[in-house]
Structure 1
Amino acid sequence: MPEARARFITLEGGDGAGKTTQARRLAEALSAAGHPVLRTREPGGSPGAERIRRLLLDGTGFEPVAEAMLHFAARREHVVRTIWPALAAGITVICDRFADSTLAYQGAGQGLDRTVWSLLRALALGDFAPDLTLVMDVPVSLGHARAIRRGVVDRYEELEGSFHDRVRAAFLAIAAAEPDRCVVIDASCDPDTVFAAVWAAVSTRGVRQPAHPLPISS
């Protein structure tokens, strides 16, 4: 492992890519290696953000701009209440989804203009971004089958395959555009093989210094 310091690591990708499993394994491995770790998720991760999560996932659905605004409202709460305090305390944060998911799902998937996403991101996060993003890539058909097997099918999973094709392509495009931040992981393999790739990326990847957070509002 490189010299220890608190890092913000996100896992991105479509449903059924194994993000939750790999986030848990990564947190356990880092903790066993002596690194304080906080594992969290989006939308959610703080009391206010969890309330917004229930709105987003209750099946109602929102117009794309309104939905993106809700995601970034939850994200702001999450960052201010949970992520920044943990990083300031020297705790590495591992997050299942972050701002890239809004760009992929509401942007590529639902047609949200990227300018709107950029404006909302700047308002909610300033220059703050993950140190490292692991893009868990899996074919859409395999991800859907996994989601069905685990019995968790949300309103996104019920959308047509072309939606998920666009989301997958968006995640890969994000990774290609930001190679210093993103590593694509082949998530179609068995969990042990996938975790070996995750651990290699976290252990050997050069990680840039985190952006200075915005002041925490009172």
Structure 2
Amino acid sequence: MNCRIGEISLYHQPATASAAPASTNRNFATAAGRQTISFRYNLKFPFKCSSRQIHMENNHSSDSRGALIVLEGLDRCGKTSQSSRLLQYLEGLGHAVESWRFPDRTTSVGQMISSYLANKSHLDDHTIHLLFSANRWEKRSLMESKLKSGTTLIIDRYSYSGVAFSSAKGLDMKWCKSPEMGLLAPDLVLYLDISPEKAAERGGYGEERYEQLEFQKKVAQSYKMLSDASWKIIDATLPIEDVEKQLTETVLDCVATCRKGKPLLELWLS
């Protein structure tokens, strides 16, 4: 669906009554360009870690928008099944909603990632991390457009996965976060909590590169370090219907808040 998007002005908090200078948009474009991936191993990103809010100027009386909802967790925790159930539930209530998944294997970058995950190619750990990040940046503009048009997005894996898995390999967590800074911050992160041992008992485990018990234990530890105020921890060992009930209740509250004009924020800039 093609949507006409109003002008975006970015400004640093606290907000003032005056309009943001025109140079702000140019500065953001330059910063985003610096983030768009370099494959040099000791990459450093010159970010100023300040929170930035995306102000939506449109013809509506309020800044009503869709919610950005992310499902995270270990492999085989049930994210994909619950994403599908959430999609059907919200559609049934008449909400505009889409389900996305990262990595998006339909893009050129995503196809490289898919080959790597299927053990058909081998890449340096820094390189694959930057590819995962690039895959998310490929979709950032469309993501913002969808949200501002009122569409809620349910995302199966996001930046938290990228950082958790790469840091579990031994990469510096701060370095792993750097190329993710400036992506849209989720309104709600639903972390499906399950022990690595329980996840390993589920069907299909071990089909992809990262589905190894000892590695998943390290990923779980990395996730704990990434938890923030946007996270809701859900017991993924409960019956699937009980997990769904908890998710839908939390998601409905989030969607209502975003429809009232909750501002969009950018990830890890504060």
Q: 1:115 corresponds to which residue?
A: 174
State the alpha-carbon separation in 1 of the partners of residues 192 and 97 from structure 2: 20
1:137 is aligned to 2:198: no
Helix, strand or coil for the counterpart of 1:44?
coil
Kept after mapping to 1: 8 A contact 2:66/2:150: yes
Contact 2:140 2:184 in 1 (8 A): no
Task: Judging by fraction of residues, say which structure has more helix.
Answer: 1
TM-score by length of 2: 0.67
Q: Give deviations 1:110-132, integer Å, cap 9, x for gaps.
A: 1111221222112xxx1521111
Determine which structure has more spread, i.e. the larger CA radius of gyration.
2
Unaligned runs of 5+ in 1: 214-218
Match of 2:216 in 1: 164
Q: Identity percentage over the alignment?
A: 26
Structure 1 counterpart of 2:150: 90
Contact map agreement 2:105 2:113 (CA 8 A) in 1: no
1:195 aligns with 2:241: no
**Range that drifts further, 127-136 or 23-32:** 127-136
Matched, 1:101 2:161: yes
User: Residue 132 of structure 2 aligns to which amino acid in structure 1?
Assistant: H
Which residue identity does 2:197 align to in structure 1?
S
TM-score by length of 1: 0.82
Cα distance in structure 2, aligned partners of 1:119 and 1:48: 22
Q: What is the aligned partner in structure 1 of residue 231 from structure 2?
A: 182
C-alpha contact 1:52 1:74 (8 A) present in aligned 2: no
- Kept in 1, the 8 Å contact 2:109–2:131? The answer is no
Task: Report whether the alignment pairs 1:56 with 2:116.
Answer: yes
Q: Secondary structure at the match of 2:264?
A: coil
CA RMSD of aligned residues (A): 2.3
Quote the residue 2:61 is aligned against.
none
- How many residues in Structure 1 have an aligned counterpart in Structure 2? 199
Q: Contact 1:43 / 1:75 at 8 angstroms: preserved in 2?
A: yes
Are 1:128 and 2:184 matched, yes or no? yes
Looking at structure 1, the residues matched to 187 and 105 of structure 2 have their Cα atoms a distance apart, in angstroms, of 18
CA distance in 1: counterparts of 2:220 and 2:154, whole angstroms: 21
- Following TM superposition, by how much is the alpha carbon of 1:38 offset from its aligned partner in structure 2, in angstroms? 0.9
Does the C-alpha gap of structure 1 residues 136 and 40 become closer, same or farther in structure 2, counting only changes over 3 Å?
same
